[in-house]
Amino acid sequence: MTEIEAIKDRHSVRSYKPDKIEAEKIAMLNDKIKELNEVGNLHLQLIEDAGNTYNKLLNRVTGLGSAPSVIACVGHDDETLDQRIGYYGEKLVLFAQSIGLNTCWAGTFNKKNIGAEVRDGESLVISIAIGYGNDKGKPHRSKNPEQVIEAKGDRPYWFNKGVEMALLAPTAINQQKFVIRLNNDESIDFIDKGGILSQVDLGIVKCHFEIGAERKV
C-alpha cells in the first residue's frame, strides 16, 4: 500500500476489538518509530497496553476506552514540537494503516496513566490510539479546495494534488482550520487559523500535502 492509498483508505477509528497487536507488527511499528524519532528529533513511544489511558468519560462515551494500545507523542519542547509531532506522527499513522491497523489521534486522554517516558526538557503533546477497529471508520466532511487555498492565477497540477490529499488530513474536531498559500515563486506557506492543537493539525496537513504533491515544501 502506498502512502496515497493509505491516506484514502484511512479514517479515524474510535471503537476497537480486544485483540492485541501481533509481535511481528509490534516490531515493525517500533522500527518505524525509531526511524521517525531520529529524523524528527522526537521521542514517540508505542505502549502495547493502553491500560487506563482512555478512562476519561469522553473517551468511554466515544469508545476509545476499548483501544488496546497507544502511541505517546513526546518530544523536545520547543516552538516546532507540535508541528513535528503532527508531521511525523501522521507518517506513523499511515504506516500503521498500511500494515492493517487502525488509529485515532486523541487529544483527550489521561496523561498520568499513559505510562510514557517524558525526559527533562520534553513534553507529552497528544496520543494516538492504535489497534484493530470494529469498523474502518467513516470519511469526515471536508471543505472545498477553494476554501483552504490562497493563490493567484493558474495553479500547477502538483499543488492541486497536494491540496486534495491535505483535505483528507485528520484535524481537531474536523474543523480544517488552515490555509495553503501558493506564492509566485511556487513556494508554499501553511497558515494556522488557530484552534485546539492547530499546530499539530498543520504538521499533519503538511505531511499529506507533500505526499500528494510528491515534493518537499
Report DSSP state, residue 16: B
Q: Look at residue 139 and tell me whether its pLDDT is greater than 90.
A: no
For the segment 169-197, the average pLDDT, to the nearest whole number, is 94
Quote the longest CA-to-CA distance of the chain.
53
DSSP H or E segment with residue 75: strand 69-76
Q: What is the arrangement of strands in the sheet containing 178-182, beginning at the earlier edge strand? A: 149-150, 178-182, 188-192
Q: Residue 146 to residues 130, 160, 168: CA-CA distances in angstroms?
A: 33, 10, 15
Q: Which of 217, 175, 214, 213 is nearest to 192 (CA)?
A: 175
What are the structural domains of the chain? 3-131 (3.40.109.10), 145-213 (3.40.109.30)
Instruction: Calculate mean pLDDT across residues 163-176.
Output: 94
CA-closest candidate to residue 26, choices 71, 88, 76, 90: 71
Does 66 score more than 80 pLDDT?
Answer: yes
pTM of the model: 0.96
Q: Is the pLDDT of residue 60 over 80?
A: no
